[in-house]
Chain A
Amino acid sequence: MDPRGGDSVTPTAAPAPAASRLYAERLQRVMDAVQLRQPDRVPTVFFNMFWLARYGGISYREAMYDYERLAALTRKAMLEFEPDLYHNPLLLTTVGPVMEKLGYRQLQWPGHGAAENVSYQYIDREYMKPEEYDEYLLDPTGFYLRTYLPRVGEAFEGIESLPLFPGLYYMRLVVASSAFASPGVVRSFTALKEAGEEALRLAQHAAALNEELAGLGFPLANGATAPAPFDFFADYFRGSKGIMLDLYRRPDKLLAAMERAAVFLLRQTVAACKASTSRIVFIPLHWAFDGFMSLDQFKTFFWPSLRKLMLDLIANDLIPMPLWEGNCTSRLETIADIPPGRAIYWFERTDLTRAKEVLGEVVCLRGNVPASLLTTGTPEEIDEYCCKLIRAAGKGGGLILDCGIGIPDESKLENVRAMYQSVRRYSP
């Protein structure tokens, strides 16, 4: 699974009905866990990419294109599993129509380079050349308009004919408006209008689903999604090989670019989250794991900018929720350095018993029934695993039970049921 956390098109849903007793109970349960108090039981979350397609007997491609069917399946799953929080699946899965209209090039998806029933996959490539750091540092917006956007989406092609805005003034500004009539810009704006209208439909469906689920008593898990500044450049700009070479060939430029990007990432994230009904910011982390870089490199390139982002979010009264993909055991002592009771650390493969020892007084843990067990195991095995996990990592509160990275696409239904039932059966 590859939850790159498509940035949340923030719904402008009406606030959740505070009167809903269930809604309040569930939120309280989660907040107790976040604040490291013992909740009435261990809370759970619903997060999936394509599992709902299997659950509902539709193809992955249909799940990517049909807003209403995916919304209906989400509702059905919520009522069956009754999680305490949910991630809106539309914003991560039903992105096919918008991506198609954008001519989006950073993913392969069913019908676009991938088979009907294969999850979408990110195309790891160099989207920014090493010599372009300077351009980014000088003028990030200009770099997007002239170089980055036309590279990642066909609909943006032509937009590079826009003038250099920061040099415009007085009559030069007046005359330069001719650029808006240039064929490339007109073509791009026409294509973008269509993509924008589709994105609006997606956002409206997502907002309607949030509103409906709130009415049924389910609070939204994440109000916004943000990347760690390192992942932002590694994944979406430099590619995996490029970023590894940058650590040696241009470390100062990478650090400077991350600092520059952090300002924009924070502003966008805070605005998106404040406009939603949730205070939680989902931060999927792709390159933090043990085997990728040394602990020293992690402390230089990864952790400081991520920590600053989290502290800034906390200062805005938001709750950062990084998903630490892979095994991050060697990072535990380092990442303990945040204010207690203000964040959620979701671990994929890090042993939660060990994480509890190091982080138990600092941060609520989320996770981590293994994907292998959900896809190939039995309900009895799931039940036993969850029981052990709840007793080991749920002591004193501070645990949200979930899978390693959401429900794996191939999970057996009876295993998913067993996981959600376990929190009602076992207490720490």
Chain B
Amino acid sequence: MNSDEARLVEAVAEMREDEAHELARSMLDAGVAPLHVLDLCRQAMDIVGKRFEQGEYFLPELVLAGEMLENIGAMAKPLIQEGEEGGGPKKLGRVLIGTVHGDLHDIGKNIVTFMLDINGFEVRDIGIDVPVEKFIEEVRDFKPQVVGLSGFLTLAFDSMKETIEAIEAIGLRKNLKIMIGGGQVDQTVCKYAGADDWGATAVDAVSLCRRWIPAAATA
């Protein structure tokens, strides 16, 4: 890594947004391959994710890092030549995530999606207030190894239970694990809803997926 490359990784990881944008812009102007610039950003995101797991970074840092990635992505993507392969490393496993029906909250779900994504999982986020039928349809289509049900309100306890029972009723449960989280979810709710496990933080969600998906356990 040359000094500009190292500076870009550091600027993103250290939340120096203006500097990160200027460096990315000048590297792209100087002809550095856009996919290489994006790869450096990915390396920075790994650092951000680790700091989040270690309790050094919190939600504002994840959000700002996401913004930097998006902005640099917007600069780099038009420069990518046809035929060049993007994509990065192979994904470790598939996780379907959504906020259960009746509940409109999405912050916690978005953070879990972000953390799973930067930890190498292929995440399909199907939004908020997701009806049971939509979960079933997406489980059939996406074939996830893990389903994450999110909910902030207490009404979500019943919505989670209904969603899990429906997945079970049509015989799709045996091929996947179900985790729940958000708001006031705890072990009592986990047992009530019939989930495999629960988490209080996005880091817990990553640990559960690592534990449940064999390819991820060793990654």
Contact = CB atoms under 8 A, between A and B. Distances in A.
A293 B17 CA distance: 18
Contacts of B102: 115, 118
Interface in B163-207: 184-189, 191-192, 200-201
Contacts of A245: 60, 63-64, 67
A405 B183 CA distance: 11
Interface stretch (B1-9, B38-46, B138-146, B149-157): B149-157
B188 A292 contact: no
B64 to A, nearest CB: 5
B188 A376 contact: yes
10 contacts: A121-B103, A240-B107, A248-B60, A291-B201, A292-B59, A372-B184, A372-B186, A373-B188, A405-B184, A410-B157
A410 B161 CA distance: 14
Given A115-B102, A248-B64, A376 B201 contact: no
Contacts of A349: 184
Contacts of A377: 188
Specify the main secondary structure of chain A where it touches its partner: loop
Specify the main secondary structure of chain B where it touches its partner: loop
A375 B200 CA distance: 19
B136 to A, nearest CB: 20
A370 B67 contact: no
A249 interface: yes
Interface of B: 15, 17, 56-60, 63-64, 67, 102-107, 152-155, 157-158, 184-189, 191-192, 200-201
A241 B188 CA distance: 31
Contacts of A124: 106-107
Nearest to A298: B58
Contacts of B105: 121
B155 A118 contact: yes
A371 B155 CA distance: 10
A123 B188 CA distance: 29
Contacts of B188: 370, 372-373, 376-377
B192 A241 contact: no
Interface in A245-274: 245, 247-249
Q: Which 9 A-B pairs have the closest CB atoms?
A: A372-B188, A244-B60, A376-B192, A408-B154, A371-B184, A244-B63, A372-B189, A247-B60, A121-B104
A327 interface: yes
Contact of B185 (A241, A293, A372): A372
Contact of B154 (A1, A121, A292): A1
A19 B154 CA distance: 40
B189 A376 contact: yes
